[in-house]
Structure 1
């Protein structure tokens, strides 16, 4: 159990480090896209959305490097702690017994440090390569910055049109009691959900393949293992298939064997890492919408939000932050690396894959995918148009950069809804709203 705690702690540290550099990288990417007039939503998948230019720190090349480094961070963390059995001999060389022990491996630890360092370097390079419009993660602050720098122009007569109506011509509209879901309003959300369920299917296929291989190859040898031995943590009763490197007592396991094992683990763990990264889009888009919908509350919007404070106020982001190290830890439980040591040199590495633990990971991913699917399908209540961080829609809906939104003016035939610095009455559900047609005022 202490060894598993150490592995979970390592994954938590990796998550903390990668999320910190990812926060800076995401903010610089947002400003880079804005400088190219390509920023549509406040939240983007930072590793799958790139600015122009191969040498750009936020370009497609270094974004790909960041993705590889992110995968290597979790892969190397899972290979740092290896296990072995120390044989106890008597004076005559006879085996008395053995004791389990773990060792810290140098190459994966070095690789982890390099991967984390390079992610920080790329994130800082991206920050220096572009003028940061705002360090706030709030969609309102980004919209205000774009309007202030004349990179975004509010469209009049659309004060009751949400992001789902962005391509609809004509402004007047009656308020809706229930708004469209993120699934309906944001095309990339649907792709993320499909990728999460694809990850579940891939894990189920992996589990089924390992189970089938065990039944064909190892079942006769492991027939003593009881059927009711399904546990969360692997133990002596866990079913597994294994493969070992050749025994090399003379020179030990060389770098080539380490590279082979790292590549194997990275290829399997890579989809999990990228899938969890994609889930950030759902968490942050829903946070953008929560931030916007506070405008109809008693306290209204909170302008100029500290990105760290907004992170800790994002319940979906916190759930994802907790899920990342746990799921990577569960992935680490699904396989087992043990080593043979001769004269303080690793002479053999043996990889075992546990059928029950892979199925446990599959069940956890199924629950994870169900949760974020339900989040993406949730339809906000109330007449306030949903934006999901769409910047043009926010610019259309905000006529004053003030924290409270509601009914502002009666009119014939159209009423006007907007924002103000003082409490406003609720939007009237039986009115048709089109806006006042007055140009927006930006207070800096």
Structure 2
């Protein structure tokens, strides 16, 4: 005979550890019915999820605009090269005598960086959706947000595979690197513009190929729509007895089980292993940039004293080296294809880590936003799972912060590591006979300070621990499937049912009371006690009594 008692978290046993009992006589409950009862609520209502057709229209419109921009760049580069040669360019000011200020020239580069950011973000959205669908079809999708260029589907020839993902990373670096060469001194240089257009066009082609290669269940970027879609299509199964277990427990504790609410939840740093790698990489960028500045101070070409700090270079303290040879004025082919390739390699080698670091930072921004959205379920207004994609983008302050910083930091890098063309002019045409690569120490220090502030903000966000008993998810799909047992366009999370010995917490279409901090929560179908050897577990439904019927006695 089993002595009746109120169990604690330690008394609970995993369903996997329970003995087989199908052949035992006089048992009225089948353990399979226990599991199906615990999952039945979570599987209802998932067919309402948003397919994201509006998001799909916006995404395809963005890719169409990116295609237009790429074609314009290819056309402009081809026309300039056909009239001025492979080393030629065109003055936007009309002629060489009407040279604008340095600030105006840099505003042109900043605008070009902004256009590149808009194009690559639109392409990246399509690519991330197709990669997410590919990982889901392979049952490898754990989080709603992934490192797009660092995660790949199986198969080298797959559009979402390792080979084309690596090519996408190289093309992204080339896109930003082209801005440094394509718009120098308020002029359009033909060859870099052609390379920029080709890089954007190839990214569009890879993204569209990836989109066509997989079946996309939902275009929504909301983790709730993705979870509901996977559950609805039986690609994700909610786990029982985990209505109070957050993402860290899902990863570290396979057994899990009933738990008491916690006043503080784990941080994204502890819940997502990739976030730790991103934070370490960001601080590596800061240290590398600081070391770069120290190297320039040590190896500088001039003995002039330090001048005032400035945002824009003034050639007061720099290190420079030449690409190409000093040519005679009659030689209009001084800059060859090999010299252009050398210039791109130089920029990619230095700018590549910055580009990859900013890309990886998207993971932190999106994971924090997913958790911020999930925690709205305990507010008075509740969690709205269906939102306009533009409104959702504008309501994400960290995402907007990162979007602005992307092209600004790339522009600051261009100030730190610039290529000054030297050549002949004829009217509004310019023929480049030499490139001078210049590294400006003040601007490198400015970039280092900006990166340090950037790394500090994202590190603090990654280490921040959410307060309150609501389990943290950070966009972890299995955890969301375990916690959400009733799907609706507007959801609230909280205490749903009293029971002896376990209570049930979950979601509802109406406002729910707060969970009891001294109760143990398991789910809507729970085992009443740990069975003795040879006995089957007995299912006991939650009792709808007083709010304190599941409260543990104080000791």
Of residues 154, 162, 169, the one that matches 1:67 is 169
Q: Is there any run of 5+ residues in structure 2 with no aligned partner, and where? A: 1-102, 527-555
Check whether the contact 1:413–1:432 (CA below 8 A) recurs between aligned residues.
Answer: yes
Question: How far has the Cα of 1:21 moved from its partner?
Answer: 0.5
User: Please, what TM-score do these two structures have when normalized by structure 2?
Assistant: 0.73
Question: How far has the Cα of 1:213 moved from its partner?
Answer: 0.8
Cα shift readout 1:252-304 (whole Å, capped 9, x = no counterpart):
21111111011101110000000000100000001111111111112212223
Alignment of 1:263-342 (within 5 A): 263-342=345-424
Question: How far has the Cα of 1:244 moved from its partner?
Answer: 4.3
Cα shift readout 1:350-402 (whole Å, capped 9, x = no counterpart):
11111111111111111111110001001111110000111111111011113
User: Please, what TM-score do these two structures have when normalized by structure 1?
Assistant: 0.90
Question: How far has the Cα of 1:306 moved from its partner?
Answer: 4.0
Q: Aligned pair 1:209/2:295, yes or no? A: yes
Of residues 190, 194, 199, the one that matches 2:276 is 190
Alignment of 1:15-164 (within 5 A): 15-83=117-185, 102-164=186-248
Structure 2 counterpart of 1:95: none
Which is further off, 377-386 or 166-175? 166-175
Cα shift readout 1:70-115 (whole Å, capped 9, x = no counterpart):
00000001111223xxxxxxxxxxxxxxxxxx42111111111111
- Indicate the RMSD between aligned Cα atoms, in angstroms: 1.4
Measure the CA separation in 2 of the matches of 1:185 and 1:340.
Answer: 53
Check whether the contact 1:291–1:301 (CA below 8 A) recurs between aligned residues.
Answer: yes
- The SS at the match of 1:82 is coil
Q: Aligned pair 1:237/2:316, yes or no? A: yes
- The SS at the match of 2:384 is coil
- The SS at the match of 1:39 is coil
Check whether the contact 2:261–2:520 (CA below 8 A) recurs between aligned residues.
Answer: yes
Check whether the contact 1:137–1:306 (CA below 8 A) recurs between aligned residues.
Answer: no
Measure the CA separation in 1 of the matches of 2:143 and 2:106.
Answer: 40
Alignment of 1:255-270 (within 5 A): 255-270=337-352
- The SS at the match of 2:418 is strand
Q: Aligned pair 1:367/2:449, yes or no? A: no
Check whether the contact 1:137–1:305 (CA below 8 A) recurs between aligned residues.
Answer: no
Question: How far has the Cα of 1:305 moved from its partner?
Answer: 3.5
Measure the CA separation in 2 of the matches of 1:205 and 1:112.
Answer: 30
Question: How far has the Cα of 1:7 moved from its partner?
Answer: 1.0
Q: Aligned pair 1:425/2:527, yes or no? A: no
Alignment of 1:337-352 (within 5 A): 337-342=419-424, 344-352=430-438
Cα shift readout 1:32-84 (whole Å, capped 9, x = no counterpart):
1000000001100110000111121111111011001100000001111223x
- The SS at the match of 1:337 is strand
Structure 2 counterpart of 1:92: none
Structure 1 runs (4+) deviating above 6 angstroms are: none
Question: How far has the Cα of 1:117 moved from its partner?
Answer: 1.2
- The SS at the match of 2:365 is helix
Structure 2 counterpart of 1:228: 307
Measure the CA separation in 2 of the matches of 1:308 and 1:416.
Answer: 36
